[in-house]
Amino acid sequence: MEQNQNNWLLTSWISNEGASRIFIELKFTLRDCNSLPGGLGTCKETFNMYYFESDDEDGRNIKENQYIKIDTIAADESFTELDLGDRVMKLNTEVRDVGPLTKKGFYLAFQDVGACIALVSVRVYYKKCPSVIRNLARFPDTITGADSSQLLEVSGVCVNHSVTDEAPKMHCSAEGEWLVPIGKCLCKAGYEEKNNTCQVCRPGFFKASPHSPSCSKCPPHSYTLDEASTSCLCEEHYFRKESDPPTMACTRPPSAPRSAISNVNETSVFLEWIPPADTGGRKDVSYYIACKKCNSHSGLCEACGGHVRYLPQQTGLKNTSVMMVDLLAHTNYTFEIEAVNGVSDQNPGARQFVSVNVTTNQAAPSPVSSVKKGKITKNSISLSWQEPDRPNGIILEYEIKYFEKDQEMSYTIIKSKETTITADGLKPGSAYVFQIRARTAAGYGGFSRRFDVPCLENSSGQEWEPVAASSDQSQIPIIVVSVTVGVILLAVVIGFLLSGRRCGYSKAKQDPEEEKMHFHNVRTYIDPHTYEDPNQAVHEFAKEIEASCITIERVIGAGEFGEVCSGRLKLQGKRELPVAIKTLKVGYTEKQRRDFLGEASIMGQFDHPNIIHLEGVVTKSKPVMIVTEYMENGSLDTFLKKNDGQFTVIQLVGMLRGIASGMKYLSDMGYVHRDLAARNILINSNLVCKVSDFGLSRVLEDDPEAAYTTRGGKIPIRWTAPEAIAFRKFTSASDVWSYGIVMWEVMSYGERPYWEMTNQDVIKAVEEGYRLPSPMDCPAALYQLMLDCWQKDRNSRPKFDEIVSMLDKLIRNPSSLKTLVNASSRVSNLLVEHSPVGSGAYRSVGEWLEAIKMGRYTEIFMENGYSSMDAVAQVTLEDLRRLGVTLVGHQKKIMNSLQEMKVQLVNGMVPL
């Protein structure tokens, strides 16, 4: 009850054991000032905690002002006279952290300035990530970092008998948890993973590469007698080809082909057989044909030589048949058909074949192919030629047939034993055609091709080209020309069509976006900074309240400028109200006072059920106070964390609807919030959410560097749109981005967006197109709305009025919230690549059309048989026109969305 209390309690020196962030847990009881007889007096309900760092215990003479303040500690529960009587102990527990520490130890000090307090216990501790083996890498005991949001990257060391696959790393969070394992070690060849160790492969087992999952039994016909084998040896007579994988059985050459049969046609032989009974365990069996020519008297054989042709080929035959042509007539041949496989050459002695003996038939001579013009007179022509390539016997004579060109039916035949003739008695100036054939004992061979003598006056000694051949060739250029013309024509037509289409698309692209005009009948927000005298602004927008109308009851939190308390406001002629009272701490600067009251100047301009309501300010007496309506459940993020999983989806959507409605009001007034986050939403006992915290925005604008700091937690990187981070483009569209993050926070009951990722990593990932994955059990429609809010192009994000009506629609039609985001497409702890239309999210055509704001066409789609997403995938622009989607903008929207879904299906979702 005495004035000017200043009582200090000091700990002894505490070593920090190498930790750079320490935690202090305080347990204390505190007397409710109201319950003291004689009124408040100088009674306080808080005390202060300080620390002083030093390397050794020299600190007995530290002055008060050398201590650094950790925090003002307020009690959640204070006790009263009654509690004493009832022997109830209302113990408070508060935890604070301090860091980064730079010396070996520190002292803690507690300052009491007039509270009735009992400090029951002080627990000082630090956090570490305990040594662990993960992905076969050992991570040591690691003391957490100095910063509360810092992740320490720790490299792991591969356990015995393992090798690095990708450098193993993990992150030690400030909470002492290991997060985000990256990379791994693999048991080296000959070892396998068991219980986080690498165990040797037993004899009879092997592991060929670190990437094989475990030791495998030796494959058939192989063995190993050693431990840690990386491969197995082949049994005798079994082999492995170099390219055979170690997991493949050892194999041997195949047995001989079976049941070979032959079919002789004059000088051609066709052979056929069936595959060997034993392929040696391989699939790569092929056949080789050896040909021998044998003397029927001596029985001696020799290799056939190069004149024999094999169809399709002599070696590497995949089929079980072959044809030999151009053999000699009347000759004995032996063909050996050998089966070979990939290991035949490793055991040449084991080759096996089946032989077939054949004798070719008598055969007529082959056609004469080379003819030369000799002397040509007005009415005679001399010709000479060579014996056919394969006479197949002794040539007895040649037959020469000739006729006047185009008069084929009246021809003349001459016979000759020589290889020259002269045909005379021919018509001068006429063209003639000649054909020659040879005769042996086996009969006539085929006629040669036609040889053309264009005109009898011509004379030369050159070889002739056969007529047919020349006319064939003369057609080639014609075909080539016509094909070329055809291709060019086709190209022109296709090019025309394509360019026409492209023109169509690019024209469509140039179509101006449908401009929406908004007509508002609301006031516009006035920036208090535009007032020369900030006090004038406060009094313009906020009522002055007399301090005597306010009863402060208890401290409920710590604001930026001082304590936040709850209490009651009784204005004359009005009901008493529960209120929250923000106080400006003593010793403030003029700027602090301006900034503190700035929030009231902003808040006072708003009047909306989802914006925290300002009752008034106290500026004429001290302490300076801002009085607002009281929100029983405090800030939304803490409230959701405390009540994890306790609400229905409709309740959560109701909260979101309220926030969106408040934001719509703010954006209609032209106010950009810049710090929309669940922590800045307050929630009352009826679960009504209200937007609050109109203070931070200025700080953000005034300090460009501040956006990039990782310390202090004041700069909401995780909540802020990329264009606002990159070039401070804060608009209602960037507020929409933040709103999307709030939706995510709400649907995940206060989870921290992007978990423990660093701010820099968040900026990078978002820039690269990654987005937060859907919260668990989140309706697809809501997640789609979040993705829409996180469109890179800020003009493509929905407006707050669209968000409100979308949420209203969902609330009116709760079955639309039944479709949850597919569990498999939810990637926990990872971000998903963003695409404006998540095809995975759509279960129905209606949902899809709604999401691209084309819901008006749902009925038409359904009536025309496009009732599933599969059917919709086939829709063409033609179809859309047929269905009556005539607006170019709408056609574009639908077709683009379909295209995106298809691309997404091809790419899949890519985890970070």
Query: Based on CB atoms, which residue is closest to ligand AMP, 232 or 550?
Result: 550
Q: Are 122 and 96 in contact (CB under 8 A)?
A: no
Using CB atoms within 10 Å of the CB of residue 801, give its burial: 0 to 12 exposed, 13 to 18 middle, 19+ buried: middle
Q: Does 693 bind ligand AMP (CB under 6 A)?
A: yes
Rounded Cα–Cα distance for residues 219 and 200 (Å): 18
Q: Other CB atoms closer than 10 Å to residue 447's CB: what's the count?
A: 15
Amino acid identity for residue 735 in this structure: D
* CA distances for 427 relative to 330, 331, 380, 431, angstroms: 45, 48, 8, 9
# binding residues, ligand AMP (CB under 6 A): 16
Give the number of C-alpha atoms closer than 13 A to the C-alpha of residue 80, restricted to the C-beta side: 7
C-beta closer to ligand AMP: residue 339 or 741? 741
- State which residue, 19 or 631, has the beta carbon closest to ligand AMP: 631
Q: Residue-wise over 236-269: b if at least 16 C-beta within 10 A, else e?
A: eebbbbeebebeebbbbbbbbbeebeeeeeebbb
Q: Which of 162, 320, 628, 759 binds ligand AMP (CB under 6 A)?
A: 628
* Lookup result for tokens 């101006």: 512
Identify residues 574-613 at the interface with ligand AMP (CB under 6 A).
Answer: 580, 612
**Is 201 a residue that touches ligand AMP (CB under 6 A)?**
no
Tell me how far, at minimum, the Cβ of 169 lies from ligand AMP, in Å.
36
SS (H, E, C) 111-168: EECCECEEEEEEEEECCEECCEEECCEEECCEECCCCCCCCEEEECEECCCEEEEEEE
Is 557 an interacting residue with respect to ligand AMP (CB under 6 A)? yes
How many angstroms separate the Cα of 87 from the Cα of each of 28, 29, 120, 257, 402? 15, 13, 16, 103, 139
Could you give the 3-state DSSP secondary structure of residue 335? Answer: strand
Cα dist from 419 to 34, 320, 416, whole Å: 140, 44, 7
**Which positions from 633 through 662 interact with ligand AMP, judged by CB under 6 A?**
634-635
Q: Is 627 in the site for ligand AMP (CB under 6 A)?
A: no
Q: Is 465 in the site for ligand AMP (CB under 6 A)?
A: no
Q: Which among 200-208, 525-533, 602-610, 631-639 is the span making contact with ligand AMP, rule CB under 6 A?
A: 631-639
Cα gap 179→153, rounded to integer Å: 10
Q: Which residues contact 237 (CB under 8 A, 6 or more apart)?
A: 252, 347, 350
Separation of alpha carbons 455 and 481, rounded Å: 30
Nearer to ligand AMP, 560 or 900 (CB): 560
Cα 648 from Cα 779, distance rounded (Å) = 12
Task: Tell me the C-alpha distance between 779 and 785, whole Å.
Answer: 10
**Known catalytic membership, residue 472:** no
φ, ψ for residue 540, nearest 5 deg: -70, -40
Could you tell me the smallest distance in angstroms from the CB atom of residue 737 to ligand AMP? 21
559: contact with ligand AMP by CB under 6 A: yes
The verdict on 631 binding ligand AMP (CB under 6 A) reads yes
For ligand AMP, which is the closer residue by CB, 146 or 682?
682
**Residue 253 in contact with residue 343, Cβ under 8 Å?**
yes
- Among residues 336 and 553, whose Cβ is nearest to ligand AMP? 553
Tell me the closest approach of the beta carbon of residue 685 to ligand AMP, in angstroms.
11
Judged by CB, which is closer to ligand AMP: 376, or 682? 682
Residue 619 Cβ vs ligand AMP, minimum distance, rounded to whole Å: 18
Both tokens assigned to 641: 């964390």
Which of 556, 624, 707, 762 contacts ligand AMP by CB under 6 A? Answer: 556
Q: DSSP 3-state assignment of 296?
A: coil
Residues 6+ apart with CB under 8 A from 893: 852, 853, 854
697: its two tokens: 């925005």
Which range touches ligand AMP (CB under 6 A), out of 375-383, 506-514, 531-539, 626-634? Answer: 626-634
Catalytic residue among 147, 668, 675, 735: 675
Determine, following the binding rule CB under 6 A, whether residue 360 of this chain makes contact with ligand AMP: no
Question: In the stretch 802-821, what mask flags binding to ligand AMP with x, by CB under 6 A?
Answer: --------------------
β-pairing verdict for 46-54 and 105-112:
antiparallel
Q: Which stretch binds ligand AMP (CB under 6 A): 185-193, 415-423, 628-636, 710-718?
A: 628-636
Q: How far is the CB of 634 from ligand AMP (least distance, A)?
A: 4
Smaller CB separation from ligand AMP, 564 or 807: 564
What is the x/- site pattern for ligand AMP, positions 90-129, by CB under 6 A? ----------------------------------------
Least separation in angstroms between residue 682's CB and ligand AMP is: 5
Give the whole-angstrom CA distance, residue 689 versus residue 691: 7
**Span near ligand AMP by CB under 6 A; candidates 144-152, 212-220, 624-632, 846-854:** 624-632
Least distance from ligand AMP to the Cβ atom of residue 842, Å: 38
Shorter beta-carbon distance to ligand AMP: residue 631 or 725: 631
CB of 768 to ligand AMP, least distance (A): 33
Give the shortest CB-771-to-ligand AMP separation in angstroms.
28
**Distance, CA of 820 to CA of 890 (rounded, Å):** 27
Q: What's the longest Cα–Cα distance across the chain?
A: 157
Complex with ligand AMP: residue 410 or 589, whichever CB lies closer: 589
Out of 291, 371, 682, 742, the only residue in the binding site for ligand AMP (CB under 6 A) is: 682
Q: Which of 51, 596, 630, 639 binds ligand AMP (CB under 6 A)?
A: 630
Site for ligand AMP in 561-580 (CB under 6 A): 564, 580
With respect to ligand AMP, which residue has the nearer C-beta, 445 or 567? 567
- According to the binding rule CB under 6 A, does residue 281 interact with ligand AMP? no
CB of 581 to ligand AMP, least distance (A): 9
310 secondary structure, DSSP code: E
| Nearest-approach distance from CB 86 to ligand AMP, in angstroms | 28
Closest CA to 432 of 381, 474, 371: 381
> Closer CB to ligand AMP, residue 338 or residue 615?
615
Stretch that binds ligand AMP, among 67-75, 298-306, 556-564, 741-749 (CB under 6 A): 556-564
Interface residue list for ligand AMP (CB under 6 A): 556-557, 559-560, 564, 580, 612, 628-631, 634-635, 682, 692-693
Indicate which residues carry an active-site annotation: 675
